[in-house]
Amino acid sequence: MIYLNLSKNNQTYLLAMSGGVDSCVLFDLLIKNQINFAVAHANFKLRGEESDMDERFVKKLCDSHQIKMHTKILNVNEYKVRNKVSSTQIIARDLRYNWFEELKNEYNYDYILTAHHLNDSIETFFINMLRGAGLNGLLGIKNQKYILRPLLLYSKEEIYDYARKYDIEWREDSSNLSDAYLRNKLRHRIIPALKEINPKMEQSFYKTFSNLRNDHELLEDYISDLRTKVSYSKNGIIYFYMNQLEKPMYQKAFYHLFSSYGFNHPEEVKKLISGNNSAEIKSESYRLIKDREHLLLVPINQQPQTCYKINALNTEGLPIYIRLYVSQMNPKTKVVFDFNKIKFPLSLRHQKIGDIFYPKGMQGKSKKVSKYFKDLKLSKIEKENAWLLCDTDDEVLWIVGYRQDSRFLPTNKTTKWLIAEN
């Protein structure tokens, strides 16, 4: 017997439904348990009329039970040509999950439900093993934050038994008969051979997954403790101690330390450690930068604005706090300019290649901004985050928080002062 363990407490679910036996059984269970749900059916147009018949079947089933249905054509072949990607299964998976998430957000569904079962998990185990996966890839299919898989406890055979017992109709996908896909080869050749050796193979794998997940939790606890020894956080940046990462005992943990940030190849991290200062590698969401005695892990911001115009000394909307105002008397404050030496309007921007200024206190000598930063031993991120206040000719007035340009300082002939507070 198959049981559902889903909450009914004012929660709504979105069932991903293909029309196959797995999703039809889950549909029936949701109806019988009076769960509030809707259906999402993706038509990939991979099997011509057969794909359209699947869609019509799901629609008829939903209509008969007055269940809301979302449907969308997701043309895998067009996507493959447009994006030059070869794997049909990976594209189909990404397209449908992206669409499911869009529906969840638009209609405020609490969870997405899929009909993956124990045999799917076993097949995933072998697929990942053949690809050289580590422990995390051998845990089978799992529930995720808002994606639940209520049938993971049950085998394909148990699902068929349920469908036959309750006379449930379903659609057969002809592509499941082809050995063109690795998953199908495992399903048709390897799994039956293993079942001959051990008729209770599914139950054995269920125990194996449970044991592996316990081991994985222990490993995660160890890695969490290790992070406190080799790194610390400050202002949204994680600093890894280079002298700790160079120890062989910690290098064994590189994959687990960095993979959650998108760095899945430990050799790249090792190469970065032995590379030049300011060298970096990037993942989709993070930068890993070598900075003297640290590796800096920095989130990648989505194209931040790098230049802001300041009209009439109005500093609202700037990324940092700056107050600009004019005085007719010498304020004798730290950051003050001769108003009449400045060409307006001003701007606030990041460093550019070739920037030069005349640092206050250097007797009128010029210096490249990049050299000034280097002398201060600023990290690559500190350099990138530094702001320059410039005039309309793009001359540097002030490296905010660091040093003024001496050309714009007040003299004993100054009659009007521009004051900057930061």
- 279-325 residue pLDDT tens: 999 999 999 999 999 999 999 975 567 899 999 899 999 999 999 99
Alpha helices, H only, 38-130:
49-64, 76-83, 88-107, 118-130
* pLDDT, the chain, mean: 93
pTM for the model: 0.72
- 206-253 residue pLDDT tens: 999 999 999 999 999 999 999 999 999 988 899 999 999 999 989 999
- 412-422 residue pLDDT tens: 999 999 999 99
| DSSP symbol at 405 | B
- 122-175 residue pLDDT tens: 999 999 999 998 899 999 999 999 999 999 999 999 999 999 999 999 999 888
- φ, ψ for residue 109, nearest 5 deg: -70, 145
CA distance linking residue 229 with residue 65, whole number of Å: 57
Q: Secondary structure of the chain: what % helix, strand, coil (to 5)?
A: 40, 20, 40
Please give the single-letter amino acid code of residue 17.
Answer: M
- 358-382 residue pLDDT tens: 999 998 899 999 999 999 999 999 9
Compute the average pLDDT of residues 328-338: 89
Question: What percentage of the chain carries pLDDT values higher than 90?
Answer: 83
- 3-41 residue pLDDT tens: 898 988 889 999 999 999 999 999 999 999 999 999 999
| Residue among 395, 346, 401, 394 nearest 373 (CA) | 401
Domains of the chain: 13-176 (3.40.50.620), 235-299 (no CATH), 307-421 (3.50.40.10)
